[in-house]
């Protein structure tokens, strides 16, 4: 989709500046353009998460986050890209905000992760609907340094381009939602968070692991492809993977026949209980 077309179709909902975007929707980040207020807000967001993530976030995530040393200032995306290229061959692509599905998938398929350049307003400290640089960077970037996760993200981008041709994007988007955004992983010490939507949230971190309300189900590809989600509240259901390597394996088959089969079945509501669901014991916190 052309930039002008995307901006006029999406109208006043888009809050980024698309006027300087290239045809692939990327822009240049100016790391010196953030105000002192924005730098302060970044530090407060970062510090809040660091109080709650130890013992709850996936160990791989915490290790890569610490190595990024991004707690003091909004990161320079070019500088991080240089390190990321050496680690897993990924790079970061600055974007003005939400971009069209196909542009998003095309970047992932090239191992380029889109990171929004703007930061939320102070009144959005606790909750923001659209991804900003805090969600995109803090939530998503650390695990791009993890080889198996990095491969999963590229496969997702390729799968997105294919799903678009097969008219199956609604199904595939659920996989992204329940893994990349809201996924949990089982470790020897108990459940841990790897989904960026949880990792960058002040409230959902403890809820996802410790609340008795949501269901926590073992990863099941076809169940996920059918499960609807809500974008404006804590999740009713989380899915738990065994490892990133297993996630790559479990999503490696051609989805074409799966889409065909699932198309005939009704979607599953976010809170529904189904025959065959395998609940995962929420581990006691140590
Ligand atoms: N654009 N900047 C940005 N970030 C996203 O996460 C994003 C997007 N455009 C589309 C999109 N996500 C969805 O298509 C996927 O989550 C399925
Ligand atoms: Fe995200």
What are the sequence ranges of the domains in the chain? 3-263
Nearest ligand to residue 201 Cα: 2
**Paired tokens of 69:** 């040393």
Listing DSSP states for 61-87 in one string gives HHHHHHHHT-SSS---HHHHHHHHHHH
User: At residue 255, does pLDDT exceed 70?
Assistant: yes
Give the active site residue among 38, 140, 201, 204. Answer: 140
- What are the CA-CA distances from residue 252 to residues 2, 16, 153, 158, 213 (Å)? 31, 35, 12, 11, 32
For position 285, what pLDDT does the model report?
53
Reported as a pLDDT band with limits 50, 70 and 90, residue 281 is: confident
262: CB partners within 8 A, 6+ apart = 171, 222, 225, 226
Mean pLDDT of the chain: 96
Q: Is 64 a residue of the active site?
A: no
Number of neighbours of residue 271 by Cβ within 10 angstroms: 14
Tokens of 183: 């996924």
Minimum mean pLDDT among 3-7, 54-58, 237-241, 278-282: which range? 278-282
140 included as an active-site residue: yes
* pLDDT over threshold 70, residue 193: yes
Other beta carbons less than 10 A from residue 262's beta carbon? 18
| Residues 283 and 190 sit within 8 Å (Cβ to Cβ) | yes
In this structure, which residues have their CB less than 5 angstroms from ion ligand 2? 131, 196
| Residue 201's pLDDT band (cuts 50, 70, 90) | very high
Structure token digits, residue 218: 């073992």
Separation CA 185–CA 239 (nearest Å): 8
The whole-angstrom separation of Cα 38 and Cα 34 is: 6
Q: What is the pLDDT of residue 10?
A: 85
Catalytic status, residue 243: no
**Known catalytic residue at 5:** no
- Whether 57 and 194 have beta carbons less than 8 Å apart is answered as yes
Ligand 1 center–CA 104 separation, angstroms: 6
Query: Looking at ligand 1, which residue's alpha carbon is closest to its atom 11?
Result: 101
Tell me how far apart the alpha carbons of residues 108 and 176 are, in angstroms, rounded to a whole number: 12
Q: Assign a CATH topology to domain 3-263.
A: 1.10.800
Q: pLDDT grade, residue 8 (50/70/90)?
A: confident
User: Half-sphere exposure of residue 60, counting CA atoms within 13 Å on the CB side?
Assistant: 21
| Ligand 1 midpoint to CA 108 (Å) | 10
101 lines ligand 1 (CB under 6 A): yes
């Amino acid at each position: 989709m052309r930039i002008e077309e995307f901006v006029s179709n999406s109208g006043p909902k888009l809050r980024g500046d698309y006027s300087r975007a290239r045809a692939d929707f990327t822009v240049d980040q100016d790391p010196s353009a953030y105000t002192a207020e924005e730098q302060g807000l970044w530090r407060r967001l970062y510090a809040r998460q660091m109080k709650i993530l130890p013992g709850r976030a996936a160990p791989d995530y915490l290790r890569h986050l610490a190595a990024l040393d991004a707690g003091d200032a909004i990161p320079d995306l070019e500088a991080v890209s240089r390190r990321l290229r050496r680690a897993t061959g990924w790079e970061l692509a600055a974007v003005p905000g939400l971009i069209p599905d196909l542009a998003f998938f095309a970047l992932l398929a090239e191992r380029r992760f889109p990171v929004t350049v703007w930061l939320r307003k102070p009144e959005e400290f606790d909750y923001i609907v659209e991804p900003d640089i805090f969600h995109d960077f803090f939530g998503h970037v650390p695990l791009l340094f993890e080889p198996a996760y990095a491969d999963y993200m590229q496969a997702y981008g390729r799968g997105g381009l294919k799903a678009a041709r097969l008219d199956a994007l609604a199904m595939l988007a659920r996989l992204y939602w329940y893994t990349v955004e809201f996924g949990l992983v089982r470790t020897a010490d108990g459940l841990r968070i790897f989904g960026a939507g949880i990792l960058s949230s002040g409230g959902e971190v403890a809820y996802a692991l410790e609340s008795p309300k949501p269901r926590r189900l073992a990863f099941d590809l076809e169940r996920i492809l059918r499960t609807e989600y809500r974008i404006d509240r804590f999740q009713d259901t989380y899915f738990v993977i065994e490892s990133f390597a297993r996630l790559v394996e479990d999503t490696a088959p051609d989805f074409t026949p799966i889409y065909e089969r699932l198309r005939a079945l009704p979607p599953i509501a976010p809170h529904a209980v189904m025959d065959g669901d395998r609940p995962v014991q929420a581990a006691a916190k140590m």
